[in-house]
Amino acid sequence: MNAAFDFVPVWTLILGAGIFFYVLLDGFDLGVGMLYGLAPDVSARNIIMNSIAPVWDGNETWLVLGGVGLLAAFPLAFAIIIPALYFPILVMLLALVFRGVAFEFRFRDAPHRTFWDHGFCYGSAIATFAQGVMRGAFIQGFEVEGRHFAGSTLDFLTPFSLLTGVALLFGYGLLGAGWLILKTEGEIQEAARRHGRICLAGVLIAIAVVSIWTPLATQAVAQRWFSWPNIAFFSPVPIATAIAAYGVWRALNGRSEAGTFIGGVILFALSYVGMAISLWPMIVPYRYTLWEAASSESTQAFLLVGTLFLLPVIFFYTAWSYWVFRGKVRADVGYH
Amino acid sequence: MELDPVLLSRLQFAWVIAWHILLPAFTVGLASYIAVLEGLHLFTKREIYLRVSMFWIRIFSVSFGMGVVSGIVMPFQFGTNWSRFSDAAGDIIGPLLAYEGLTAFFLESAFLGVLLFGRRLVPPWAHFIAALMVALGTLFSSFWILAANSWMQTPAGYQIVDGRFVPTAWLDVIFNPSFPYRLAHTVVGFYVTTGFVVAGVAAWLLRNGRFFSEARIMLSMTLWLLSVLVPLQIVLGDEHGLNTLEHQPAKLAAIEARWETARNVPLTLFAIPDETNETNRLELNVPHLGSLILTHSFDGEIKGLKEWKAEDRPPVAIPFFAFRIMVGIGVLMLLFVAASWWLRIRDTLFDSPWFLRACLIMAPLGFVAVLAGWTTTEVGRQPWTIYGLLRTADSVPLALTGGDVLVSLIGYLAVYLVMFPAGIFVMAKLVQKGPAPGPEADSPIESGRPAGPTQIQLHSEGDAP
């Protein structure tokens, strides 16, 4: 087939955006799940859970889309990366099962409420940690032979990936705190501001360590960032990160209700761009480029037609459902 | 003992899909039922429809949540355990699954929030639209996932380039030869499954002497539906069988445990297939009937398993028995529906003790039939993931060890054995409460300003005019 149009950049953008939406949306509700464990009493827990009950499964749908989107647009990457992350994916899925059913079960299975409370909180934390570990393992790259992952299923386990796992706990915690500041008032909001400050500190330390560690560990990444003229083009990324971090700190300590969440989103976006800069144009780091792993033109074209039509529709009705549940969660009504 | 990653991966897939499929088998039908009830309430203003709908919405929300989380597990199985299949067929399977997400999952999840929690926040017509969209989403989902599954059974519209399947004609990929039959047979099967659950719950309420008017509406509506769908399902199953005969003759031979190619074959009601000696023991046959049913002609030819090399044959006993369980349940369902017609004519539908007991016994059988049918078609596809083209044994990741899969399988076993019984327990408690209005009945999550006109004044018994 002669390439009339190169779909790969388009799909890179769509998939990149899809995974970013997942990180943001499930990020805040996994973060809320973790902070749930710190809530002082049942009524606070009810409010915290109700703040995400109508939207959580929509948020997790982005995970499915990220997975099958990767399969459709870059099947070779899917076929190498997913088996390489066998155990972190297993742990993430099992944790997501527990936290997902806890929404309903906690309310309807009162005799075992404590069990489901723990399932919700630890499930959220474990799923987050597993996702962070995956990100670290991804940055470090995989052992590949031909079209197959050739390493061991325990290769993912390194000090670096454990660090990125912990980093994501703070990161999602920050987004969760930002969400709770938006959706709650009074003591719960105050607590969220407190937790948000701790999470922000954790996030900043993690960003700093990862930003230093990655170029030290990987020659290619160092070259990408520190060679001239790249350093001039990319220097706005760390500078903007510092500004955003300052903004979040101000919002957490001031009276702004949206500032923390928006600032958290910006921090995630900048980290994401930073990672993209480091790895571009690799999809299976240091082995296969986006173009080498891409599916056939026919596949990418067929899926693109529907996606370009459906994504705006999805944004429209998702926005509507968020709008229906806008405003503060009220104390006198619960998950029912 | 050497642990076989292929066998263990198959067991793991069977385990996670078997539990998962029970939920769509229930929620696809239930979503439509709820949409119908919401519509009836919107247009007739009779509150009894609202009470029945709210009762089922509570049960739906539990089963849907379980469906979501067990469904998220599924696409990742293609990568963790079937990566060589994903590499080979990702160009074709990928977009089908992606379209399922884009057309169905987002639609369901966005409108589910409104359906469950938004009754007081949006106008009644918008709430009805939400119910419709959730129902539509479940049907879109069935469409795409069965297109993908059917393509693995009867691949079309592709060419093979360097061992990878590349699409050449998307309409042929989607509307591959077995797809229309599988889609119709599966979706009607899901509706029937839901119907028997609703009938069973209604009968249970009647037998307990509670919520008469609600239970009658449920039972009567459902039996009308089953009166149409059960006979239809048998016709669809027959058509699906003809399609299998044409496109997957080895599967059909296994289903019928036929070893020799022959015309005018009998219908084997029972046998113990003996795969080592390539024969059956303890056969119970009805002469001539096999060819008539399978080919619609007395001297129709059925290919025997010996036409294929042993390594290309599916297992025989599993599809053979699973198919007979499914068909047996189908026959029972038909008898049940016929009985309901007779009782309706005599006007004793709601107070015939034996019939109500039969409703209870029949309630879970739809699930058994779905699992049996699924087992028949998937085991019958073996030893291939893509029928005739890619072997199951060549589909697992090279680096994966038996030990890895054993660990993950134990993980899935443990978590599902906690989650599913808990879910069944929770749903049973909801059924026990019945369609009672109460503090728990429909207090939504309210955010911000409670907007929208709502009138939900509920009475526990009797029809409001």
Distance of CA B232 to the CA centre of its chain: 16
Distant-in-sequence, close-in-space partners of B77: CB < 8 Å, separation ≥ 6? B12, B13, B16
Interface test with B, best of A11, A48, A61, A335 (most B CBs within 10 A): A61
Tell me the shortest Cα–Cα distance from B170 to chain A, in angstroms.
Answer: 8
Interface test with A, best of B87, B111, B160, B442 (most A CBs within 10 A): B87
pTM score, two decimals? Answer: 0.91
Contacts of B62 in chain A (CB under 8 A): 104-105, 108
Choose among A50, A84, A85: nearest Cβ to B445.
A50
Task: Say whether residue B159 is in contact with chain A using an 8 A CB cutoff.
Answer: no
Q: Give B355-388 pLDDT, tens digit per residue.
A: 999 999 999 999 999 999 999 999 999 999 999 9
Return d(Cα A264, Cα A179) in angstroms, integer.
Answer: 10
pLDDT at B452: 38
Q: Give A41-77 pLDDT, tens digit per residue.
A: 888 888 898 888 888 888 888 999 999 999 999 999 9
Is there a contact between B105 and B90 (Cβ–Cβ < 8 Å)? no
Contact B65 A83 (CB under 8 A): no
pLDDT at B438: 52
Contact B99 A80 (CB under 8 A): no
Contacts of B166 in chain A (CB under 8 A): 296, 298-299
Contact B113 A58 (CB under 8 A): yes
pLDDT at B1: 61
pLDDT at B444: 44
Q: Looking at this predicted complex, what is its ipTM? A: 0.92
Tokens of A132: 């962070």
Is there a contact between A66 and A15 (Cβ–Cβ < 8 Å)? yes
Distance of CA A278 to the CA centre of its chain: 18
Contact B446 A303 (CB under 8 A): no
pLDDT at B348: 86
Contact B86 A71 (CB under 8 A): yes
Task: Say whether residue B70 is in contact with chain A using an 8 A CB cutoff.
Answer: yes
Task: Say whether residue B117 is in contact with chain A using an 8 A CB cutoff.
Answer: yes
Which chain A residue lies closest to B408 (C-alpha atoms)? A90
Say which residue the tokens 């022959």 belong to. Answer: B262
Per-residue pLDDT of chain B (465 residues; tens, 9 = 90+): 678 999 999 999 999 999 999 999 999 999 999 999 999 999 999 989 999 999 999 999 999 989 989 999 999 999 999 999 999 999 999 999 999 999 999 899 889 988 988 888 889 999 999 999 999 999 999 999 999 999 999 999 999 999 999 999 999 999 999 999 999 999 999 999 999 999 999 999 999 888 888 999 999 999 999 999 999 999 999 999 999 999 999 999 999 999 999 888 889 999 999 888 888 888 888 888 888 888 888 888 889 999 999 999 999 999 999 999 999 999 999 999 999 999 999 988 888 899 999 999 999 999 999 999 999 999 999 999 999 999 999 999 998 999 999 999 999 999 999 999 999 999 999 998 888 765 444 444 444 433 333 334 444 443 333
Contact B94 A320 (CB under 8 A): no
Distant-in-sequence, close-in-space partners of A235: CB < 8 Å, separation ≥ 6? none
Contacts of A50 in chain B (CB under 8 A): 445
Task: Say whether residue B235 is in contact with chain A using an 8 A CB cutoff.
Answer: no
Tokens of B455: 């009138």
Strand B279-286 relative to strand B390-391: parallel, antiparallel, unpaired?
unpaired
Confidence of residue A333 (pLDDT cuts 50, 70, 90): very low
Choose among A60, A295, A306: nearest Cβ to B72.
A60
Contacts of B71 in chain A (CB under 8 A): 64
Is there a contact between B404 and A86 (Cβ–Cβ < 8 Å)? yes
Tell me the shortest Cα–Cα distance from B387 to chain A, in angstroms.
Answer: 20
Contact A298 B170 (CB under 8 A): yes
Contact A83 B112 (CB under 8 A): no
Which chain B residue lies closest to A95 (C-alpha atoms)? B415
Q: Give A154-212 pLDDT, tens digit per residue.
A: 999 999 999 999 999 999 999 999 999 999 988 899 999 999 999 999 999 999 998 89
Instruction: Tell me which DSSP letter residue A151 carries.
Output: S
Amino acid code (one letter) for B84? R
Give the orientation angle of helix B365-381 with respect to helix B124-153, to 10 degrees. Answer: 30
Task: Say whether residue B110 is in contact with chain A using an 8 A CB cutoff.
Answer: yes
Element of type H or E holding B166? strand B164-167
pLDDT at A261: 93
Distant-in-sequence, close-in-space partners of A192: CB < 8 Å, separation ≥ 6? A35, A176, A177, A178, A180, A181, A184
Return d(Cα B71, Cα B116) in angstroms, integer.
Answer: 20
Q: Is the pLDDT of residue A233 over 50?
A: yes
Choose among B62, B98, B423: nearest Cβ to A69.
B98
Question: Rounded to the nearest 5°, which phi and psi values hold at B447?
Answer: -115, 150
Element of type H or E holding A251? helix A236-253
Nearest to B280 by CA among B264, B289, B269, B288: B269
Contact B121 A295 (CB under 8 A): no
pLDDT at B378: 95
Question: Rounded to the nearest 5°, which phi and psi values hold at B265?
Answer: -85, 150
Q: Give A272-286 pLDDT, tens digit per residue.
A: 888 888 888 889 988
Nearest to B118 by CA among B186, B61, B68, B156: B61
Is there a contact between B62 and A57 (Cβ–Cβ < 8 Å)? no
3-state helix, strand, coil in chain A (%, to 5): 80, 5, 20
Contact B397 A148 (CB under 8 A): yes
Is there a contact between A184 and A47 (Cβ–Cβ < 8 Å)? yes
Contact A327 B448 (CB under 8 A): yes
Contact B69 A97 (CB under 8 A): yes
Cα angle value B189/B193/B199 (rounded, 5°): 140
